[in-house]
Structure 1
Amino acid sequence: MAAMELHSPMDDDEHPTFEFWRQTLKKSRLVVAPMVDQSELAWRILSRRHGADLCYTPMFHAPVFVRDASYRREALATCEEDRPLIVQFCANDPEILLKAAKYAEPHCDAIDLNLGCPQMIAKRGHYGAYLQEEWDLLERMVSLCAKELKVPITCKIRVFDDVDKTVQYAQMLEKAGCKLLTVHGRTREQKGPRTGIASWSHIKAVRDNIKIPMFANGNIQYLPDVKRCMEATGAQGVMSAEGNLYNPALYEGINPIVWEIADEYLQLVEQYPCPLSYIRGHIFKICHHALLVHTALRERFGNCKTVAGLRDLLSQLHEASKADMEAHSKDPSEFTKELPLPYWQCQPYVRPNPDREKSKTVGTKRHLEVVLDANQEPLSRRKLKKLRKNPNKSFLLKEKRYEKCECGNIKGGKCIWELCKSCCKKKTHENIADCLGHKLFCKNSEEKRKKKAPKERKIDDES
């Protein structure tokens, strides 16, 4: 990192609003993004050891954080090496956000409100980027935290298509009390295959119109991108998510051998444990390009259940790549035709063009649907997955026919009267009978009442 000098146009700004960034965050420029199930403690330490100045925790759900003590303990796992640190929450209620933030503030340097998550789960939960039209609510959330917390409140946003609206959005958050803003230069709709290129011009427009420190997010795949982004936007620093996942040494400006950096991560996992699903996710991303070549190992990585097993598979990946590495030393061009670097080095993953024809795997799924039965409706993805695991099991869709009660409702399948529940209830009361199908026990209740009645009369007589 020493080889590259980073400078933003506002570095010499002595405005009071920059004090938090200058003093507490120590002028952090190279930032690891908050990533659900991916920016856990072990990964943060690995990233810091390879050049990162500042890390965010994964996004935590404020309501769960408030009510679940074990969730809080796992979420707040940290250590001395893990500073400065910002804890991020998603929320849609000012009071709940404040309660969650109060639990976290002793363990971090700031609280961040996630207003950038574009995923469908955020839409269903009504948080992240799906709050970006509700400015009154956001103003209340940010201002309450700014007033009541001992640490600053920061925000991470996505842009609108309209630059002016994006600037007004940022200014509203600044006025509400946001002390640092991260701007992801993509809209809410730019995700998955439609991710596309982040707009640095949107980011620059925000930087030119707010007085608080700002990080730029988007298009950071190699270290030179950091300098280009800061010069183009004027941001105080840059944030990387995917670039960091595929190369945790991105900010160090190197492209390490995948099994070496992966093994370093596994050593940290033994020191700072985390769920195996997180670990496998990281290993798959680090080794992404290598496992596209050595496909036989891919499934074994997916089925591995221990850290020791993953370490052994990394050794096997190394062995499988030795011949190619030797050939590369004689003719380097042979292994850089499709990728910028040989597949055994960490490098970015570039998504396929969304306009490109669908892959053959999609065709395979459709073929399975046709083979099942031409007259049946296609199976769901879940059932197709089950079918691949259990090829002899029948997953054909069966048409269900329901008989109707005389009132028009559906009959209960196990009703002794062959009626719907409403009609059955009347019938059992009239006949003082039980219906096991609808779990109505009038006969039993009547017998208990009769047995109880003489005792009650006897007590009355004695009194």
Structure 2
Amino acid sequence: MTCSQCHRESSELVRSPLDILTDPDIIARICAPMVRYSKLPFRLLVRKYGCDIAYSPMIVADPFVRSEKARLAEFATSPDDRPLIVQFGAADAVEFSKATEIIAGVCDGVDLNCGCPQRWVSKKGFGACLLNKPEFVADMVSAVKRLPLPEKFTVSIKIRIKEDLRKTIDFCRAVENAGVDFIAVHGRTTSQRKEPANLEAIATIKESLRIPVIANGGMKNLKDVHEVHSRTGVNGVMIAEGLLENPALFVSECEVTPANCILDYCNFAARYERRFNTFHHHLMSMCQRWHAKPQRKVFNALTNFSDVVSYLHTNHECFSDSDFPLFGDSSDEESACD
């Protein structure tokens, strides 16, 4: 099925990201952009378990625009993969606009990465380095908003906070005035990794803006989701690592991934995932609370699809009668945009 067919068959039934984020009766539940891991099989899985909006991994705009090979390597979708926001790493308005024009017919919004702290990202002129260029980012947002985009198509950004919160608020107001539809705020600075997210900062940003705000950072379970919402008043919560460890997090108080969720992932992966390393990494994350240390060591050392499925089948009684899918050949080539 082509991307245009996906769009025609599903677009009229899809609730837009902005409609979800402005619904006063819900906390929007969002799967974060994760390099290599928030791809189609995982997005379909979390949608089955309560996720309202899912992001693609960050896609570097320049090769995506120039190369069909890069587009095929970096992006795939299906009719059930909605609403979908595609995140780009872009260094200027032309790049961001061209990438948006290519993708607009098969997703519900684009997002500009203004928060990734990795050095290689900053060297390319996007990610967290853009936090120092509010007018430049505002121009990028304005350029995309001027495009003839589908109705209710959204343009958003994802940021980290600065040590001086006033500068973060000024940045957010600049892009708000440029027409950005909503902002996802990772509540850590670029130098922080495992520190608790600064919920007070997120709450202050939310109070300072008219547009919806999404909180990101540090949530591991449903209790955390409700605490973050209560303390910040945000319109939605965005989770990365917590969903990798338990893709059913949004609908389950249990912190262990349910067996049926693992089986569902295997079914989605059999259809859409050819890279064994990605498949294996997801299952290592989902199964880490299932296994004691000796079991983890064995499971994590497996090297092909059939051995992973066989291990689950023979070592966990809950899977003894399960019909696991058949997997094709593995391909672990690096993507064109890595």
TM-score of Structure 1 vs Structure 2, range by shorter chain = 0.7 to 0.9
DSSP-derived class of the 1:126 partner = coil
After TM superposition, the structure 1 stretch with the greater mean CA deviation from structure 2, 115-124 or 28-37, is 115-124
Quote the offset at 1:238 in angstroms: 0.5
Please name the residue that 1:13 is paired with.
none
Distance in 2 between the 1:96 and 1:22 partners? 27
Amino acid at match of 1:228: E
Backbone CA RMSD of aligned residues: 2.5
Inter-CA distance 286–311: structure 2 relative to 1 (3 Å threshold) = same
Q: Distance in 2 between matches of 1:173 and 1:64?
A: 25
- Give CA deviations for 1:7-57 in whole Å, capped at 9, x if unaligned: xxxxxxxxxxxx962279876601110111111111111101111111111
C-alpha deviation, 1:316, in angstroms:
4.0
SS at match of 2:86: strand
Mapping for residues 73-152 of structure 1, pairs under 5 Å = 73-150=72-149, 151-152=153-154
Structure 1: unaligned runs, 5 residues or longer: 1-18, 323-463
- Quote the Cα distance in structure 1 between the aligned partners of 2:174 and 2:288: 41
Task: Report the secondary structure of 1:187's partner residue.
Answer: coil
Letter in 2 for 1:175: N
Helix, strand or coil for the counterpart of 1:239?
Answer: strand
1:233 aligns with: 232
Paired position in structure 2 for 1:263:
263
In the TM superposition, 1:9-20 aligns within 5 A as: none
Between the aligned partners of 1:274 and 1:55, the Cα distance in structure 2 is 21
Deviation track 1:363-387 (CA, whole Å, cap 9, x = no partner) reads xxxxxxxxxxxxxxxxxxxxxxxxx
Summarize deviations over 1:172-213 as a string: whole Å, max 9, x none: 11112211111111001112xxx2000011111111111111
1:259 and 1:315 in contact (8 A); partners too: no
2:215 and 2:55 map into 1 onto residues whose CA distance is: 14
Counterpart of 2:309 in structure 1 is 311
Distance across 2 between alignment mates of 1:142 and 1:175 = 10
3-state SS of 2:316 partner: helix
Q: Distance in 2 between matches of 1:223 and 1:74?
A: 34
**Corresponding position: 1:197 with 2:196:** yes
Distance of 2:118 and 2:104 partners within structure 1: 27
Percent identical pairs in the alignment equals: 31
* Structure 1 contact 25–54 (Cα < 8 Å) conserved: no
The offset of 1:300, in angstroms, is 5.0
Indicate the residue corresponding to 2:66 in structure 1.
67
Aligned to 1:285: 285
| Residues 57, 87 of structure 1: 8 Å contact kept | yes
Aligned residues: 299
**1:22 corresponds to 2:19:** yes
Separation (CA, whole Å) in 2 of partners of 1:234 and 1:251: 18
1:156 and 2:141 aligned? no
AA at the equivalent of 1:166: T
Matches within 5 A, 1:64-463: 64-150=63-149, 151-191=153-193, 195-255=194-254, 256-257=256-257, 260-291=260-291, 293-295=292-294, 298-299=297-298, 301-306=300-305, 308-318=306-316
Structure 1 residues 119, 290: CA separation in 2 closer, same or farther (over 3 Å shift)? farther
Unpaired segments ≥5 residues, structure 2:
1-15, 321-338
Change over 3 Å in CA distance of 1:49–1:296 after alignment to 2: closer
Question: Per-residue CA shift, 1:239-279, capped at 9, x if unaligned?
Answer: 00011110100001243456543232111111223422211
SS of alignment partner, residue 208 of structure 1: helix
Q: Deviations over 1:136-185 (max 9, x none)?
A: 32122111111125132100000011221211111111112211111111
**In 1, are the aligned partners of 2:284 and 2:299 still within 8 Å (CA)?**
no
Find the residue that maps to 1:182 and give its secondary structure. strand
Query: Which whole-Å CA distance do the structure 2 matches of 1:226 and 1:208 have between them?
Result: 19
Residue type of the partner of 2:213?
M
Answer with 26-35 or 172-181: which moved more.
26-35
Deviation readout 1:335-364 (Å, 9 max, x if unpaired): xxxxxxxxxxxxxxxxxxxxxxxxxxxxxx
Deviation at 1:218, TM superposition (A): 1.6
Query: Larger relative CO (CA 8 A, sep 6+): 1 or 2?
Result: 2
How far apart in 1 are the matches of 2:54 and 2:290? 27
Q: C-alpha offsets along residues 117-138 of structure 1, whole Å, 9 cap, x if unaligned?
A: 1223323333211221122321
CA distance in 1 between counterparts of 2:123 and 2:288 reads 30
Aligned partners of 1:113, 1:257: CA distance in 2, in Å? 31
For the 8 Å contact 1:76–1:107, the answer to whether it is kept is no
**Cα shift at 1:61:** 0.5
Answer with 1 or 2: which has the greater Rg.
Answer: 1
> Is the 1:25–1:84 contact (alpha carbons within 8 Å) kept by the matching residues of 2?
no
Q: Is the 8 A contact 1:21 1:28 kept in 2?
A: no
- Residues 114 and 128 of structure 1 are in contact (CA less than 8 Å); yes or no, is this contact kept in structure 2? yes
Q: Contact (CA 8 Å) 2:21, 2:235: kept in 1 or not?
A: no
Deviation at 1:95, TM superposition (A): 0.5
Take 2:119 and 2:163, find their aligned partners in 1: how far apart are those partners? 20
